[in-house]
Structure 1
Amino acid sequence: MSAYEPPRIEEVDELIFKIEDRGWAFASDQAAAIDRHWQKLREANSHLFNGRVFLNFERVLERRNDRRVLSGVAAAVDFKAFLAWRDFGFPDVKTRNCFAMAALVSADGAFMLGRMSDSTANAGKIYFPAGTPDLSDVVGDQLDLEGSVARELLEETGIAADEVAFDAGWRVVFEGPRIACMKITRSPLAASEIEARFRAFARTQEKPEFSALHPVYSKEDLVEGRMPDFTLRYLRSELSKA
């Protein structure tokens, strides 16, 4: 039986993740194995950088007055430890990778995802603009996941926050060790115009994170194997409303 709760999608009004400085038993207990794994990853892809990212160690979804709030604790870990945890099959089942995604929607109704470049840790995968929270997502003693959405959108597509409209609230996908917080992000441009904007932006980047955009108008545009389970679950749910 799975150690995780059944996958589901929840409507959430607010995300509150406070930052704590705490150790991670997986990282300390598996330090040698993590270093060996990192060395192999770096040999295959020298562009990888061992920064600090935030994982989620505690969480609760509750109603506060008339709002549904997902709150919890985040702590910084080495990126190499995060990748080892992922690649070793998520051995610490109490920990989650909780992150925010810009669910970018074109004016003509396409969800706009990107294909990850070969220089990234998820080469070839198809995602919304997103990233595991890092030190640039810290505001005071909390993670600013709304700010993370805007930052990742700009860094990966060249589209600034003032060029789109963000829906209130989140649709949060709980999928095993991942918690994907989807923020609907509406563009006034058609899919073809967004793609043209992206291509012009990508030409200015030495190592763009996306190699191309992938519009999804219907379930026929979904790509099993390249889109993660949480992305497929979210898109099927949204497309079923059409």
Structure 2
Amino acid sequence: MTSPVIHRVTALDLPVRPFAWPFAQARRAEIEVHFAERQRERPKLWNGRVLIGRNPEFSESRFSADYFEVDFASFLAWRDWGFPDRGVFNGFGMGAVRSSDGAFVLGEMAQHTANAGRIYFPSGTPDPDDVRDGAVDVAGSVVREIFEETGLARQDYTAEPHWDCVVVGAAIAMIRLLNLDMGGEALRARINANLARQHHPELSAVHLVRSRADFTAAMPRFVTAFLEARLST
């Protein structure tokens, strides 16, 4: 795995353009078999539509890339098979929720999800519902994902103006720091209460990270890279 690189930007320019993905076309039959196998393991997986990126470029304080729509089965196969097409990337927004006493709040994905057991900030692969005026609205996607996963609404936190774009291999995590006027334990209790009201919550547990000692192997490298930079300041 390549070492993480963090680009701090204030603008995201992510237009959605039509693109016929050669990988998805050439390996269609294999992709369908793979998705059927994964669906037998996790019946709640749904082959909806998602957005992934190509042509990434960082210039001064802007991150630009082209996004295109593809079925989730193709995205999942590309990910599970070790990213065989390096001409595309998985670019997604994350909300780094931080409590008033400095604890970062991460969620552990439930067993019925495609990322079962992984621990990271509220996030999700962009989909067509995240498109505004022909471009991916990452800020809106983050607001939606945080509400769906934790119950926290936009008025509950203050967002910093910039994004830390953490590049690790085929992933680009666009992470925005979100500050809440609530202590870590109280915040975890509030999120757990919200999860208890849901029939099929996306999260199975809530974790607080205050130092590197709280890192686990279940946290993706783009998450720990962001935390290392933030916890050292």
Which TM-score applies when normalising by structure 2? 0.98
Q: How far, CA to CA, are the matches of 1:206 and 1:49 in structure 2?
A: 17
Question: Where do 4+ consecutive residues of structure 1 move more than 6 Å?
Answer: none
Q: How far, CA to CA, are the matches of 1:74 and 1:136 in structure 2?
A: 13
- Counterpart of 2:35 in structure 1 is 38
Deviation by residue 1:205-234 (Cα, 9 ceiling, x = unmatched):
11111111100000000002x011111111
Counterpart residue type for residue 63 of structure 2: L
- Counterpart of 2:123 in structure 1 is 130
- Counterpart of 1:56 in structure 2 is 53
Alignment of 1:80-229 (within 5 A): 80-224=73-217, 226-229=218-221
SS at match of 1:41: helix
User: Are 1:234 and 2:226 matched, yes or no?
Assistant: yes
Contact 2:99 2:182 in 1 (8 A): yes
Counterpart residue type for residue 235 of structure 1: L
Unmatched tracts of structure 2, length 5 or more: none
Contact 2:4 2:221 in 1 (8 A): no
CA offset at residue 137 of structure 1?
Answer: 0.6
CA offset at residue 22 of structure 1?
Answer: 1.2
CA offset at residue 7 of structure 1?
Answer: 2.7
Q: How far, CA to CA, are the matches of 1:138 and 1:193 in structure 2?
A: 34
Q: How far, CA to CA, are the matches of 2:85 and 2:102 in structure 1?
A: 39
CA offset at residue 16 of structure 1?
Answer: 1.0
Q: How far, CA to CA, are the matches of 2:134 and 2:108 in structure 1?
A: 33
CA offset at residue 139 of structure 1?
Answer: 0.5
CA offset at residue 39 of structure 1?
Answer: 0.6
Identity percentage over the alignment? 39
Q: How far, CA to CA, are the matches of 2:79 and 2:72 in structure 1?
A: 11
SS at match of 2:20: coil
CA offset at residue 45 of structure 1?
Answer: 0.4
Which TM-score applies when normalising by structure 1? 0.94
SS at match of 1:19: coil
Q: After alignment, is 196-205 or 42-51 more displaced?
A: 196-205
Q: How far, CA to CA, are the matches of 1:206 and 1:25 in structure 2?
A: 39
User: Are 1:13 and 2:5 matched, yes or no?
Assistant: no
Deviation by residue 1:93-141 (Cα, 9 ceiling, x = unmatched):
0100000000000111001000000110000000100001012211120
Q: How far, CA to CA, are the matches of 2:224 and 2:186 in structure 1?
A: 24
Give the number of aligned pairs.
233
Q: After alignment, is 198-207 or 210-219 more displaced?
A: 198-207
Deviation by residue 1:51-105 (Cα, 9 ceiling, x = unmatched):
1110001121113xxxx11011000111111000000110000100000000000
SS at match of 2:100: coil
